[in-house]
Amino acid sequence: MSFPDGPSFSSSGLLSGGTSPSGDEGFFPFVLERRESFLGGGPGPEEPEDLALQLQQKEKDLLLAAELGKMLLERNEELRRQLETLSTQHSEREERLQQENHELRRGLAAQGAEWEARAVELEGDVEALRAQLGEQRSEQQDSGRERARALGELSEQNLRLSQQLAQASQTEQELQRELDTLRGQCQAQALAGAELRTRLESLQGENQMLQSRRQDLEAQIRGLREEVEKGQGRLQTTHEELLLLKRERREHSLELERARSEAGEALSALRRLQRRVSELEEESRLQDADLSSASLQSELAHSLDEDGQGQGADARGDAPTTRSPKTLEASRPQPSPPEESLEPPKKRASLSPAEILEEQEAEVAKLQDEEEYPAVIVPEKYNEQRRHTNIFLMHLGSSLLLCLISVGWSQTSQSKTRLADNLKFF
């Protein structure tokens, strides 16, 4: 195998250790000079000193020749390795080129076979067209135009086929790009699926937590419903108690109206007594008080005893009915009337009858104001107020009698009868 681009070497001269004048004279110019002196080609020695110098020079030449031989051997070895490397590369390149050439030949043969088959088909088509053209020539004189048209169609068909082939290659490239795109999308969907699975696991955890919280909330709702039902029951009970209290309030309002009417009658009787006291004062100036004082006191004491017994029976008859604990708690008795109205009559004996009447009228008006208070009055409060009112009226009558006694007056049986009739009200 020859290498036109590489240098040519004499392998026999290099391997034997000799020098080649044709190859090394230009590369090592001092070799020829040393070689001539070494071979004795120069002039002979003329003096003994020159012989010693020549011997020394020859020894140096021998050493130099040995070094040069060693260098040439190394150079030869290096060139041999380069030659082997170049030959190996060349063989590999040649094999690759041969393989490519073979593949190209196979492809060319396949394409040639394809085109030959296509040419055969086209030739068959041409033959058919020619046959048709011959038939048409026999039928028509204008067959040239038909032939040209058929050839044009064939050329157009060939052009279309070439275009379709180009489109097929382009479509193949597009499909390849779409395939790459779909692969990328598939990888992205795989990553998204992993993320979705992670998200699904987290959502499942949250769902379980929410379900447990929902169960807790449902338990709380059931508890709240039970409490609401209990509250509704308590509200219904309270509503019934409120209706009962309203009904009792209406009854107590009727009783208060009766008490107000009785207080008005008592006030009118008190005023009549005031007028009567004035008349009796006029009569008392004319009569002797000493004769009638004892009988009047005994009669007054007897009437007071009878009135006290009657009031005690009324108070026992008006005892409060039994109430529920809630009603008794909501209807605690209010403070009793002032203690001034319960003072015994002997402390007021020093006052004049007009002052006593004015004071009693003020007490009656105060009691009426208390009775008109709009709050719900329970039977205990009403009975207590009624009892205090009765005691007050009784003390009022006693005070009037004591006033009459203090001023001193003598009365006839007719005046005593009228006085007893007026005191029956108390």
40 domain-assigned: yes
State the pLDDT at residue 309: 61
State the pLDDT at residue 152: 86
Is the domain of 266 the same as that of 411?
yes
137 domain-assigned: no
Three-state secondary structure call for residue 336 = coil
Tell me the HSE value of 209 on the side-chain side, using a 13 A CA sphere: 6
CB atoms within 10 A of CB 341: 21
143 domain-assigned: no
State the pLDDT at residue 74: 93
State the pLDDT at residue 78: 92
d(CA 111, CA 141): 40
State the pLDDT at residue 83: 92
150 domain-assigned: no
211 domain-assigned: no
Which one-letter DSSP state was computed for residue 223?
A: H
Residue 416 and residue 361 in contact, taking contact as beta carbons nearer than 8 Å: no
What sign for the dihedral angle of Cα 300, 301, 303, 304? positive
Domain membership of residue 284 as a residue range: 248-423
d(CA 173, CA 9): 53
The pLDDT averaged over each successive group of 10 residues in the chain (426 residues) is 41 40 45 48 56 87 91 92 91 89 86 83 84 77 72 88 89 89 89 89 90 90 88 87 90 86 83 82 69 62 63 46 40 39 41 58 61 46 63 64 52 50 50
Last residue of a domain, one of 71, 95, 129: 129
Look-up of token digits 């006290």: 308
State the pLDDT at residue 340: 38
88 domain-assigned: yes
Last residue of a domain, one of 75, 103, 129: 129
Give the closest residue to 408 by CA, choosing from 269, 285, 245, 302: 285
Which one-letter DSSP state was computed for residue 47?
A: S
99 domain-assigned: yes
State the pLDDT at residue 308: 57
State the pLDDT at residue 425: 46
303 domain-assigned: yes
Residue 396 and residue 341 in contact, taking contact as beta carbons nearer than 8 Å: no
Number of domains in the chain: 2
Is the domain of 121 the same as that of 252?
no
Last residue of a domain, one of 103, 129, 155: 129
Counted residue by residue, the chain has a size of 426
The CA R_g of the chain, rounded to the nearest whole Å, is 78
